[in-house]
Amino acid sequence: GVGLGVGINLGGGSRNQLGTEMRVVIRDAASSQVLWEGRADFAVAENSALADRVANAQTVAAALFSEFPGNNGETVQVEVAE
């Protein structure tokens, strides 16, 4: 299978942060073999506009699939503007 990891950190300093992780696994329907898997981590200050659940989910999903399918075992850092 092919894998991708994405890390996003908009925090700065030791403020309280909101963290989210999204993991996706795509399997072959017949064999259940993993064709692609990816994971995205996101951390942002709890008072950020991106701490909103909808904005947070959209940011994580967009980062996870930004260069789909990517290279096997690749980790990508994505910059996000608040």
Sorted by where each begins, the domain ranges of the chain are: 2-77
Beta strands 17-27 and 34-45: pairing type?
antiparallel
Cα(64)–Cα(78) distance, rounded to whole angstroms? 9
49 in Cβ contact with 39 (< 8 Å): no
The partner residues of 37 in beta bridges, in order of sequence, read: 3, 25
24 in Cβ contact with 37 (< 8 Å): yes
Give the pLDDT of the chain (82 residues) as one tens digit per residue: 454 555 555 555 556 777 788 888 999 999 999 998 888 888 888 888 888 888 888 888 888 888 888 887 777 777 776 6
